[in-house]
Amino acid sequence: MKVTIVGNKDECLGFSLAGALPQIVNSEDEFISDMEKLLKDTEIGIIIVVDRYFEMYSKHFTSETKKRALPAIVFVPSIDKQYLKRDLKGFLANVLGIKL
């Protein structure tokens, strides 16, 4: 199973160093077309998406991905923090359900 990250060049860099395949997008249209391709790829097990695309994802792909387990979609905070109103520590605490 492959892991891929969808975001801008800077956001993809760190994840690519950890082994995730970078999918660099610079616009909402690119995001939609690239996500359609990624969701059809049977080798991808996890798609990491920066949170600036959460609303776009919800609008176009939620109904399709609710019906299947793979690929798993994980949203992470963007570098500029303008979309998620808390820091990474707070985000992880919420996801894990524990205080850090």
Tell me the mean pLDDT per 10 residues along the chain, length 100. 91 89 92 91 91 82 77 82 61 60
- Looking up tokens 């760190």 gives 14
Q: What is the pTM of this model?
A: 0.76
The reported pLDDT for the residue numbered 25 is: 94
Hey, what are 15's tokens? 């994840």
The reported pLDDT for the residue numbered 57 is: 82
Hey, what are 57's tokens? 């994802």
Question: Residue 66 gets which letter from DSSP?
Answer: T
